[in-house]
Structure 1
Amino acid sequence: MSYTSFALVGAGTVGSGIVAGLAAKNVPIVVLSRPGSKNPEKLPAGAKSEVVDTADVDAVVAVFKKHKVDVVLATLTTTANKAQYPLIDAAKAAGVKLFVPSEYGMPTEGETEGLLGEKNDVAAYVKKSGIPSLRVFVGGFVEYIPWLFTYTENKKISVVGEGDVAASYTAVPDITGFVVHVLTTLPPAELEDKILRIEGDRKRASEIAALFNTTIERVDKMPGELSELKTGLSIAFQSGAGSTGWDAVSKTEGTGDAAAGSANKLWPGHSWQTIKQVHNL
């Protein structure tokens, strides 16, 4: 086993699956929850919880030391990127061996603006702190495709642009299972300061429309709720940035270990779920 004790902050869509996976393997895992959080009530058997102000570095250090934590995983919402800074400071002070920042989306390496730039800044801060890190890029969540393309609202696949550029999509159980697998089977040398790029499926928006037996609706602005966010994502995907192999600096697809899905091989024998399978199309 690579590491023997884990701590996680943010037991939501991705975090809860990681906690369940580690607990199922009888690996020590403690979930840090803010005062008033309901997450401790939902934890699987074997997982421990600590209620602590995650912005209080000294308090978090005490929790990490109490549980002899080797690895800290942050699985926070995208808008909470900056909440990782005190966790990194605490991890440094507690002698944590690996920090896994809250990525789990489009590639952020080299990004300088917006939410993706914030994630890259967090990664830079981890590096500056001297803690080894592991970043995992997954593309879009397969389960969120109907929401992302506003299919749930108008039964069409809405896009800004032509919808002819392929993007990476990975199912949440594949994401969480992959993270648990590599952290509990690979030696630290294969994880420290690495970027792992996985891909469960790869499709253009036009191909997704065909799978859902509907049409492409090309728009200047995505309709419905969170229009600004969806519009930004649609523009990014059209640029190629939705691929886990995307290089934000050169604006090209990476090759070798920087290629989309290049880390899939680290989970030999696993069958990655496709868009068609997840949505029963």
Structure 2
Amino acid sequence: MNTYKSFAVVGGGNVGLPVATGLAAQNVSVILLSRSSTKTPPSGVELVQVDTSDVAAVTAVFKEHKVDVVISTINATTPENAAAQKPVVDAAKAAAVKLYVPGEFGFPSDGHTEEFLGAKNKIAEYAKSIELPSARIYTGVFTEYIPLLTGYNVNGKIWVIGKGDTPVSFTFLSDITGFVVHALTTLPPSELENRTFRLEGDRATLNELATKFNTSVDHVDLIPGEGGDFIAHLLELSEAGSGSSGWDEANKREGSEGAASGNLSWPGHHWKTIKEVHNL
């Protein structure tokens, strides 16, 4: 039986706002932490303006609202953004928060030591070291972002760095946020604390993506334009195996839990495929 009654969402982007909205619909207390007072919160969600780098201030907010669960949805695609979660982790520990959900929602970070995935892993390991229970959620690539991250919206082809035959996990954003709400409001703490959930809506290599989109691959070494270096890094990680939500970086192979193993925690749910999301 789930015992969490009060939630705090940090970050109001594509993950944070739907999660806050979904939690509020479950008749639980939900606050949205923001540095800005101009953001409009979803119905049933209280906006709390606070400097999330100020441990004392955030601790006071968590205590005032008797927060049980903190969900970080900070866009941790840089080492600096990932590391910015540390004051929130410290505040959660000081306020006796029962569960922390770090800003993962992407490629598996466990076992990584470099770049943004290494920084994400460091935050999760830090939470463990101070005995703050956490739930890590890996999703692979957001399915609706395929055109943006593969170059399809640039030249109608699929960018590939390497051979393009390594499987990648793709999960629809609404499935991800729906899972977060479902898991945090229905699963007992024993099934959430210090657990890793590996989600997957669909699975394909980049070469297979080209077939699904009825196009060809474009083998590249560099990605042009703003954000090109980051996209190239994601493609390199995918080629190496890290794009799969079941990837075991320490052993450089698919792990024993496997991609989509976390899907079992939402029985009966239909996970949207690539073809369904993109009307292929």
The normalised TM-score by structure 1 is 0.96
- Aligned pairs for 1:110-259 (under 5 A) are 110-255=111-256, 258-259=257-258
- Aligned pairs for 1:29-68 (under 5 A) are 29-34=30-35, 36-39=36-39, 41=40, 43-68=41-66
Shift of 1:37: 4.9
Amino acid at match of 2:18: G
Shift of 1:44: 1.7
**Contact 1:160–1:222 (CA<8 Å) still a contact in 2?**
no
Q: Structure 2 CA distance, aligned partners of 1:141 and 1:38?
A: 28
Cα displacement string for residues 72-92 of structure 1 (whole angstroms, at most 9, x for unaligned residues): 111001231111111011111
Q: Structure 1 CA distance, aligned partners of 2:112 and 2:187?
A: 28
Determine the structure 2 residue equivalent to 1:74. Answer: 72
Shift of 1:210: 1.1
Determine the structure 1 residue equivalent to 2:96. Answer: 95
Cα displacement string for residues 222-250 of structure 1 (whole angstroms, at most 9, x for unaligned residues): 23331111111111101111001100010
Q: Structure 2 CA distance, aligned partners of 1:107 and 1:2?
A: 28
Q: Structure 1 CA distance, aligned partners of 2:224 and 2:211?
A: 20
Shift of 1:130: 1.2
Amino acid at match of 2:137: V
**How many equivalent residue pairs?**
276
Amino acid at match of 1:242: G
**Contact 1:165–1:238 (CA<8 Å) still a contact in 2?**
yes
Q: Structure 2 CA distance, aligned partners of 1:188 and 1:38?
A: 34
Cα displacement string for residues 39-62 of structure 1 (whole angstroms, at most 9, x for unaligned residues): 3x1x22111111111111111111
Structure 1 residue ranges, 4+ long, deviating more than 2 angstroms after superposition? 36-39, 222-225
Q: Structure 2 CA distance, aligned partners of 1:172 and 1:96?
A: 26
Structure 1: unaligned runs, 5 residues or longer:
none
Determine the structure 2 residue equivalent to 1:279. Answer: 278
Structure 2: unaligned runs, 5 residues or longer:
none
Cα displacement string for residues 146-169 of structure 1 (whole angstroms, at most 9, x for unaligned residues): 010011111110110111111001
**Contact 1:159–1:222 (CA<8 Å) still a contact in 2?**
no
Percent identity over the alignment?
A: 52
| Pair 109,209 (structure 1): closer, same or farther in 2 beyond 3 Å | same
Q: Structure 2 CA distance, aligned partners of 1:225 and 1:206?
A: 24
Q: CA RMSD in A?
A: 1.0
Amino acid at match of 2:263: N
Q: Structure 1 CA distance, aligned partners of 2:37 and 2:110?
A: 32
SS at match of 2:84: helix
| Pair 196,254 (structure 1): closer, same or farther in 2 beyond 3 Å | same
Q: Structure 1 CA distance, aligned partners of 2:3 and 2:18?
A: 19
Amino acid at match of 1:76: I
The normalised TM-score by structure 2 is 0.96
Determine the structure 1 residue equivalent to 2:5. Answer: 4
**Contact 1:150–1:224 (CA<8 Å) still a contact in 2?**
no
**Contact 2:222–2:228 (CA<8 Å) still a contact in 1?**
yes
